[in-house]
Amino acid sequence: MATDHDGVRELLAAWAVGALLPGDEKAVPLHLAECESCAAEAERLRETVRLLGGPASGPRLNGAGGAAGGVLAAALRARPRVARVAPHAAPYAAAVAGLQALVREMEGRWATPVVHDWNAHATVAHLLAADEPLALRLGLDARVPASPVPGDTPWEDAWNARTADVIAHELTRAPEDTVAAWAAQAAELLATPEALDSVRAAHATTLMGLRLPVADHFLVRAFETWIHTDDLGRALGLPVPPPPEEHLGLLVRLAVRVLQLALSSAPPVLLAMAGAEPDAQWVLGSEDEPVQAELVLDPVDFCLLLGGRYEPDAVPRGATGDEGAVQRVLQTAAAMSWL
């Protein structure tokens, strides 16, 4: 009986490790019985695999779980636990954890250019500055010496001066010190009564020109932290996943509210999020006219557009109806230069 020499020879390695398909299993021994060269090769590979399995009859643990508790408890200690906070602050807590995870990959890469004229170090310094207004408002202390800005300076000028000062200050220190200062401020923010209790976060306050409930300012912090983490990830070639679904939903709703303020008298456009639940749609613009167009965006793209990370023409979208009305929404969103 002539068996298939070439076919079996192809299979010998799979045979040796036990990875054959059920249909192959008969063909191999039949051929080995009549082909000396394949039998020798088979013996050589089988001996190799025997030694891979360890000497003697080492225990084969496939599926044996062992003490999950011990392994997991030890593994969990390898990373600080995400702060347990009220739902409005949970996206910020997660975004902080996400940036801390990315920072562990940045050793030796702090000079990598990121966005604007910032390198990775300056980007984290910028976040230290950007979290500061909320921290100060909630009664925490500044972590960088105060900037001498006259009291009647418009908030944008004051903010630009402050972030420049903070970045300049931080660039004189080690990146690790900047990360530690940013992380400590974030931890303090997440330990405030306003982070732990939604009732305490219900009152509105104006920060960076936006009058919003404190709870929403926590969402703004989450939004900005994520967008800059995404910037860092792109610069380092490490794609940053979007925030967890329920957090992303909260960020989208916040972004819609902010956009609605800017479009209150524009021709109305129905905005819907691709792939989201049916109620994730809103009418942007004047309430007194019929809807002129529909615009469908991916929720991540929508956030990136508002974060200034997309040109209005470049964002992937589905649109029907009046193109001018759609353009107005996209241009307005992109021009908010929110971060």
Partner 1 sequence: MPVEQAADKTVRVPADAELHRRLVYGDESALNEAYAAYGGLVRAVAVRVTSSPAAAEDVAQEVFAQLWSRPYAFDARRGSLRTWLSMIAHRRAVDWVRSEARHRKDARADDSALHAIPDAAPRPDEAVVDRERSLLLHSALAELPRTQREVVHLAYFAGRTYRQAAVELGIPEGTAKTRLRSALRKLAESLADPSDPAPARGA
Tell me phi and psi for residue 337, to 5 degrees: 35, 60
Task: Identify the CA nearest to 35 among candidates 12, 60, 57, 54.
Answer: 12
Q: Which is nearer to partner 1, 37 or 172 (CB)?
A: 37
**Least distance in Å: CB of 54 to partner 1?**
4
**Least distance in Å: CB of 25 to partner 1?**
11
Q: Which is nearer to partner 1, 26 or 79 (CB)?
A: 79
Cα separation, 213 vs 241, in Å, equals 28
**Least distance in Å: CB of 34 to partner 1?**
14
Q: Which is nearer to partner 1, 33 or 335 (CB)?
A: 33
What does R_g of the chain's alpha carbons equal in angstroms?
A: 29
Q: Write the DSSP symbol of residue 285.
A: S
**Least distance in Å: CB of 280 to partner 1?**
19
**Least distance in Å: CB of 122 to partner 1?**
21
**Least distance in Å: CB of 218 to partner 1?**
16
DSSP-assigned letters across all residues of 178-235: HHHHHHHHHHHHHTSHHHH-TGGG-SEEEETTEEEEHHHHHHHHHHHHHHHHHHHHHH
- Convert 2-67 into a string of H (helix), E (strand) and C (coil): CCCHHHHHHHHHHHHHCCCCHHHCCHHHHHHCCCHHHHHHHHHHHHHHHHHCCCCCCCCCCCCCCC
Q: Which is nearer to partner 1, 202 or 238 (CB)?
A: 238
Q: Which is nearer to partner 1, 66 or 145 (CB)?
A: 66
Asked if 236 contacts 112 with a C-beta cutoff of 8 angstroms, the reply is yes
254 three-state secondary structure: helix
Instruction: State the residues that interact with partner 1 by CB under 8 A.
Output: 10-14, 16-21, 36-38, 40-41, 44-45, 47-49, 51-56, 58-68, 70-72, 74-79, 81-82, 93-95, 97-98, 101-102, 104-105, 238-244, 247
Q: Which is nearer to partner 1, 2 or 67 (CB)?
A: 67
